[in-house]
Amino acid sequence: MFRVGQKVVCINNKGLRYSIPNEPRVLEGAIYTVSAVDVRFGLPVIRTEETWHDDRNPFSWLFARRFRPLVETKTDISIFQKMLTPKKEKSNVC
């Protein structure tokens, strides 16, 4: 289940209905921020900060199954630092 403030990625925007001309479209692969979570029509739904919504319009809710949580990985640069560190060479001088 999603939570308010969580970043999500759209994985399926096929068949989305838009009732207001020029409203922001939900794009597959785009990142959104969850602004509300609810259950409508017996299914989990969300609203995002980046898309239009109206409390009177049931189509302003998006089915949660169209999204997945964004997995943010912290970049670990230690491997690159090891590559830059000169290696000690053994000397075979007698």
The verdict on residue 77 lying in a domain is: yes
Residue 50 DSSP label: T
The verdict on residue 49 lying in a domain is: yes
The pLDDT tens digits for 37-92 are: 999 889 999 999 988 777 777 777 899 999 999 987 777 788 788 888 877 776 66
The verdict on residue 69 lying in a domain is: yes
Residue 20 pLDDT class (50, 70, 90 cuts):
low
The verdict on residue 11 lying in a domain is: yes
Which amino acid does the sequence have at 57? N
Taken in order 48, 51, 55, 60, the sign of the CA dihedral is negative
Q: What is the total count of domains within the chain?
A: 1
Nearest CA-CA partner of 11 in 50, 57, 49, 63: 63
Element (H, E) at 80: helix 78-84
Q: What is the mean pLDDT of residues 19-23?
A: 64
Which amino acid does the sequence have at 27? L
* The pLDDT of residue 22: 64
Q: Would the pLDDT of 32 be above 90?
A: yes
What residues make up the domain containing 25? 7-83
Distance CA 60, CA 56 (A): 9
Q: Indicate the SS3 state at residue 78.
A: helix
The verdict on residue 43 lying in a domain is: yes
The verdict on residue 1 lying in a domain is: no
**pTM for this entry:** 0.70
